[in-house]
Amino acid sequence: MQRIIEQQDEWLHPAANLPHWQESFYFNVVDPAAELLLVARISVRPDGRGDGLVFALHRGRPVLLYPAIGVRVGVYAERGLVLAARGLRFTMLEPLVHWRLQLAGAGADVALDWRALHPAVDYHDSEGEGLAGIAAHHFEQSGVARGALRLGGATIGVNGLGQRDKSWGARAWSEIAGWDWINAFFGARLSVNLFRGPGPRAPIPCGYVHRDGATTPIFSAEVAYSRGGVKAPRFRQVQVTAHPADGEELILRGTPVGRFPLAYRGLWLEEVHARWVLEGRRARKSGEPAQACSAPHPDIYPASGARRDGEGLGPVRAPAVPEGERAPLQGYGVVERAVHVGVGGTVRRLPDLLATGIQAVLKGGRGW
């Protein structure tokens, strides 16, 4: 049964009587010209507490870490929605269209406007088994972001692209086997988003391709890492073959620019700033199925937010989709790999985690 994403899904939902319930708001921004990746997230639990997190990579190196873990999250909904986790603040200015991200922390300030490029894409249209354990409801959007990041006395202007996801439901972190989540942006006219969650026999893919104003679900995908196994999320290269429902297969190759490791309740996550190359396209073979677990809902997109391909937002500093067949097309994005390593695996990786945190703090961005 297809569930339509509506504007009210931007607000907090009534918490079900389930353990591990949470509502999560995530944004990332990639600016190729500034050589920057910034990630921000706030989650809220039924008891009013939750987690806030901001981190950034600049030229492949950690420069910002702001953790607000287990804090009281302020929720204000008189004229919209505002979420506040200590110095981190998300303000919804228009549902499913426009958010403002702000951070005022020790040694760091962030002020970004994030605007969606397309309607919300529902990741649970087919209620796949591999997704239900991560969050019962989940939608995503690609967008553009502009603003500034100040670290110490230096200011980095931001004019990039990014991805957001909103999820709500039970998420038992300690029981999740892992996932792969991939974003690739080739300008405001082309983005590829892919999520692979654990399935009973094989990973379950979800995702979409946003191209020239149209959003098409991905019904299957192959992901191959070099030097990266099930328990080794670090990799040297990744190749993605995505099969959208419109019939054109896309082949992408990604290489890491920088990485930010994170650990939470037995899960080890690698958030990787990646450089992407679109290596090829081909028509889908006849007889191949064309059904997807995610679907866009253009009919509910707010009229005031119909900003196709960044219309009205000015130029984005990223490669535009070329006319004809000039290849390979280059872009940037994110690869998020999560694997369950348990307590022992986390302890063995602590030196890596501490080294990244110390490096980010020494650059001036810290928040505890």
Cα separation, 105 vs 108, in Å, equals 5
Q: Mean pLDDT highest for which of 7-21, 267-281, 318-332?
A: 267-281
pLDDT the model gives residue 364: 58
In Å, how far are 99, 185, 189, 278 from 117, measured between CA atoms? Answer: 12, 12, 9, 20
Q: Name the residue among 232, 287, 235, 277 with its Cα closest to residue 256.
A: 235
- SS3 label, residue 251: strand
pLDDT the model gives residue 88: 97
The answer, yes or no, to whether residue 184 has pLDDT greater than 50, is yes
Cα separation, 176 vs 198, in Å, equals 8
The radius of gyration of the chain's CA atoms, rounded to the nearest angstrom, is 19
**180-202 average pLDDT score:** 86
Question: Both ends of the chain: CA-CA distance in Å?
Answer: 44
- What is the average pLDDT value for the chain, to the nearest integer? 81
pLDDT the model gives residue 361: 76
Which single residue is written with the structure tokens 């099969």? 243
**276-283 average pLDDT score:** 88
Cα separation, 167 vs 121, in Å, equals 12
pLDDT the model gives residue 21: 85
Q: Name the residue among 228, 257, 235 with its Cα closest to residue 333.
A: 257
- SS3 label, residue 2: coil
Asked whether 295 and 260 are in contact (CB, 8 A), the reply is no
CA dihedral defined by 100, 103, 104, 106, rounded to 10 degrees? -170
CA dihedral defined by 345, 347, 352, 355, rounded to 10 degrees? 170
196-225 pLDDT, tens digit per residue, is: 876 666 667 889 999 988 999 998 899 999
pLDDT the model gives residue 135: 59
Determine the longest span between alpha carbons in the chain, in angstroms: 59
Q: Mean pLDDT highest for which of 20-24, 186-190, 245-249, 257-261?
A: 257-261
Whether the upstream peptide bond of residue 119 has omega within 30° of 0, thus cis, is: no
pTM for this one? 0.85
In Å, how far are 44, 67, 116, 144, 149 from 103, measured between CA atoms? Answer: 18, 11, 20, 18, 9
pLDDT the model gives residue 131: 53
Q: Output 201 or 291, whichever has higher pLDDT.
A: 201
Binning pLDDT at 50, 70 and 90, where does residue 285 land?
low
139-155 pLDDT, tens digit per residue, is: 999 999 999 999 878 89
In Å, how far are 156, 191, 201, 282 from 225, measured between CA atoms? Answer: 32, 20, 19, 22
In Å, how far are 118, 263, 337 from 333, measured between CA atoms? Answer: 17, 21, 13
Q: Name the residue among 140, 142, 157, 154 with its Cα closest to residue 36.
A: 157
pLDDT the model gives residue 178: 81
pLDDT the model gives residue 96: 95
pLDDT the model gives residue 43: 95
**301-325 average pLDDT score:** 37
Q: Out of 188-202, 218-232, 282-296, which region has the weakest mean confidence (pLDDT)? A: 282-296
What is 23-297+327-362's CATH number, 2.60.40.2550, 1.10.760.10, 2.40.240.10, 2.40.370.10? Answer: 2.40.370.10
306-315 pLDDT, tens digit per residue, is: 333 333 333 3
Q: Which two tokens stand for residue 82?
A: 């505002």
**92-121 average pLDDT score:** 93
pLDDT the model gives residue 158: 97
- Which burial class, exposed, middle or buried, applies to 334 when counting CB atoms under 10 A from its CB (0-12, 13-18, 19+)? buried
**253-266 average pLDDT score:** 92
Q: Name the residue among 215, 328, 205, 213 with its Cα closest to residue 277.
A: 328
**86-111 average pLDDT score:** 93
**183-198 average pLDDT score:** 90
Q: Which two tokens stand for residue 118?
A: 């397309």
